Structure 1
Amino acid sequence: MVKLFPQAARDEFVDLVCAGVGLREAGASVGASVNTATVWWRESVGMPLRHARSRLKIAPDASEHVPDEWPAVEQGGVPRRYRSLTKFERGMIQIGHRNGMTYADIGKALGRNKSVVWREVHRNKGPDGLYYASAAHDKAEDRTRRPKPLKLVDNEALCGLIAVWMDDGWSPKLISRMLARYCPEDQTMQVSHETIYQALYVQTRGELRADLAEKLSLRRKKRVPQTRDRKENSPYKDAFKISDRPAEVADRAVPGHWEGDLIIGCDGTAIGTLVERSTRFVILLHLDGDHTAETVAAAMIREMGDLPGHLRRSITWDRGTELADYARIQVALDTKLFFCDPRSPWQRGSNENTNRLLRFWFEKGSNLSAHSADDLRRVAATLNRRPRPTLDLDTPATRLNQLLKAAETTRVA
């Protein structure tokens, strides 16, 4: 009859061997035979022992360990040229972790960074909170095995649910999060948003309806690669970043700091928008025919040139190529231009909110070239006469006039 041992007995056995007790004695102390103890050691740690009474020299105090006693090559490991953790290394992580060594000391002994050890333990520890080297190694091999099975192949229930939600205008990222909420225990009903995108844009990556790509908000025919900002090719590599902006800009106490952007219409038409942060005063730029860097610079210099110097201290813009001629603007207006971080529109919050209000007059997808310069001045004047809750129901025009009168009084005095 096969004798069954509780998990606690196996844990006690491993702890005894890690503390330096011989394999035979450690097994006997929990009532296990030598063969059973050998199997336990192989399954839990996977590190070969030189003989049955081999004592693994692991100091209880992390400061007393000797890294040279953990040679990877001699103990069956591999040279350091491999990036992935070996089975031997995972065994040594288990031993060190059970003996109270810090992640930094374990990593130092293995020639690894402490963060590697920390991630390994927290990623692969069992439900009981303990780390077992053999189980961790099996998990790692399962994760790296290729090719991965496709979740959207032969899974009609999942594909059907995704299709229903996409027909209602849900984004793949929202669908992924809701699946995780509704089906937390069923891994077959969970999928990442990237997998959904691949099924929509890449052949043989799933079984979603071909027309579902048209349900996406941007309705692109193909996936746009997620490129990163390359500083060597960026026209803003020498420009001021938003982190260089003075602290006085953030609290809105000092006037003269502006935020700007473009409102884009159909057929490449656009309107430039500028918002003063303290008064919310709006200036609209009429861009005749295009929104190239030269056109935007000329319009900005024309519209802001009559402002007094203390009302054009700085301008914050995003990283669109329409402001590549920023050096010319800085010189002409005697101001500084600061550029937001990539893909960070919230860093121009006042401008983003103002653009939303301007969509009342300039609808998305419309031809913005139909609006003349006089039309833009009328719209700007209307918006500047609108009471704002953020100004205690005062208007941007009133606040700006107060600043101009104060500057005139100071100049005369």
Structure 2
Amino acid sequence: MPGEVRVRFFDRVAEGWSLSAAAVEAGVAKQSAWEWWRQSAPVMLRLVQTRRGGLPVARSDAPPTGSAPPTGSAGSAGSVVVGDRPGRRPLTSEDRAVIAVCLRRRAAGEQITLAQIGDLIDRDKSVISREIARNSGPDGSYHGGLAHAAAHQRRRRPKEFRLVANLRLCRQIEAWMDDGWSPKLIAMILRRDYPHMIMERVSHETIYQALYVQTRGSLRKDLYRRLSTSRSRRHPRTGARRANSPYKEAFKISQRPPEVADRAVPGHWEGDLVMGTAGGVAVGTLVERQTRFTILLHLPGRHDAEAVAQAMIREMRQLPEHLRRSLTWDRGTELARYDKIQLDLAMPIYFCDPHSPWQRGTNENTNRLLRHWLTKGTDLSRFTANDLRQIAATLNARPRPTLDLKTPAEMLNQLLTEPTAA
């Protein structure tokens, strides 16, 4: 292939071969080899000097001098001066050939940094890093000719929308969203599982476009209902917050120990109620701040202070003492029996400031995820205690970006099996 021949030719030149000898060895006509060298002599000269232990030649504002083909060895091209090139220019096939040569030298044990590679082709090291990440093969190898062809293919317009061409990927995304996964989480999992297979992954924005823009993919039309907002179209954020009931608490959130805020120690929980229909059944939610492990409280019939206290004591008594160090709650009358909870569980309870639900943001985020099952405006009395346990188990088995894609269940299990970790 022409790209492979070009790479072979540049390899030999970088090793110190004369242009004629390198052309013969690579199997290319001398005239073509001379033309390649004329186009890339400044770049290759710096590569040769680096290869031989010298320093790259200094850049000059003057353009490269001399267009006649050289007749000597690579070292005889020292009269060529490197000129500045316009910024943001696309990488050429010669640039990618140089990158490929340098990466092979690195693989062979030579100390060549991305910054040095960038100096050879007058580009920043970040350009080199992105080029390698985008155009490396599934095995991590980089080939200049294939990389140039791949880059050219990506620049073609119009592009085919990826979720139109890959129906298998569409079905996988639908299955994950049916389990309550967000588009952003799906994109992160695909990026982790297919780091070198770009056609097997999509961004979260691509998923949102397939849901909100007509003809932009092959996802089910009703899939937007699986989003935490259940919106059929996008809305700007308003920042409106639900007013909280005024309540005087024993401990303020400002009195919590510093270990709660930085999540350094497990066993600190946040809680709230998830409401269904107006005046109907509610579900209590408890979330551990470090592991994001979630416990759901079954509150059939009523959710007054006595019922919430009994359900919380019943569920949290199953935890060891080192995993129930404190609880943070909103200012709601449903926790009016906080004194009974503190006494029975030996666990202090702290209350948020008025109208400040964001102070227990871990619980707010978890409640948003739970709306996938406990939809707003529906009658929650249809959920039995077993149903709530199954929902909690599903949520606790969901990978979390904040946990480096581990699950809350894995994190809590580690704390239970290794008490020293707590």
Name the TM-score, length of structure 1 as normaliser: 0.49
For the pair shown, which has the larger CA radius of gyration, 1 or 2? 1
Greater length-normalized contact order (CA 8 Å, ≥ 6 residues apart): 2
Name the TM-score, length of structure 2 as normaliser: 0.48
